Amino acid sequence: MKIFVVGGAGYIGSICTELLLDEGHETAVFDNLTEGHRRAVDARARFIEGDLADREQIQAALSSTHPDAVMHFAASALVGESMRDPSKYFRNNISNGLNLLDAMVATSVGRLVFSSTCAIFGPPERVPIDETAPARPINPYGESKLAFEKILRWYDEIHGMKFVSLRYFNAGGASANFGEDHRLETHLIPKVLKVALEQKPHVEIYGADYETPDGTCIRDYIHVIDLARAHILALGARKSDFYNLGTGGGSSVREAIDACRKVTGRKIDIVEKPRRPGDPPRLIASSEKIKNELGWRPQLQSLEGIAESAWKWHQKFPQGYGD
């Protein structure tokens, strides 16, 4: 297939691009490089620098590549920032997403795989979170993703655009070639590994008094390669649908730090800080639906395996992509 990857210079998009190419798909990457990195784009892919804010740019890119499907990873994705600057999130994640959908309609591209988030649910009534849980986001980031999911339903009904929306929490790990390098790093594992690389003095734990076995929040960590495989499987879905992605188990902040200590063999100091507002004690997603309907079988669920793959990449690229 010909696949058009929007946001393919970012963390998850770059690894999904790599796997698509490994499986023989012809792949083009569209990215404005504000968050992504040019060096994160697989050399086998065609790269088109452009911005979803410009409808003409995206339509021209689709017209020139004639893809069978689009994968959409481009989004603003920091919860805290969304609480300070909601306009950025509604413009980028909804308005710019509409430019993509309208360009797809204009160029007769009728299939989309959307990188969504379990943040659409808000604090869960029960865990693991399955697709029947009520959607009650508590920040503009989750609200913007939920709004776009609702838009997708109408584009399917009115334009016949088939979509799969994949919702997940914490991607981690790396491939041999591509890894996690955010300009503003908020994710736990790369922050811990920066301490192991002696680039940071310590890692901060926000809240050590939760009602969990070790007092720290429990989160659902999924290997980025398993995540990419789910996106590729979604290309073959027969109908539009929504799927949650997770391990069904979850690990605490302390367990994630201990896994990094074990794989690096380095001393990693921690500093405990007060809870952050709105952090639920447990966030764990169920993947039973996508396992049953699309046959997704994660292969790399070990927390130590996630940390080890990330550590290997960070040792190879201690300054990230360097741009």
Question: In whole angstroms, what is the distance from residue 282 CA to residue 306 CA?
Answer: 20
Burial class (CB in 10 A: 0-12, 13-18, 19+), 196: buried
DSSP helix/strand/coil, 12: helix
* Catalytically annotated residue among 11, 89, 141, 243: 141
Pairing of strands 2-6, 69-72: parallel
Q: What residue type is assigned to position 204 of the chain?
A: E
For the four alpha carbons of 166, 169, 175 and 178, in that order, the dihedral sign comes to: positive
Question: In whole angstroms, what is the distance from residue 303 CA to residue 262 CA?
Answer: 11
Question: In whole angstroms, what is the distance from residue 160 CA to residue 104 CA?
Answer: 11
Q: Tell me the DSSP string of 139-175.
A: SHHHHHHHHHHHHHHHHHHHH--EEEEEE-SEEE---
**CA atoms in the 13 A half-sphere facing the CB of 58:** 26
Question: In whole angstroms, what is the distance from residue 152 CA to residue 48 CA?
Answer: 25
DSSP state of 119: G
Query: Is 141 tagged catalytic?
Result: yes
Going from the C-alpha of 162 to that of each of 12, 282, 306, the distances in angstroms are 22, 33, 32
Catalytic residues: 141
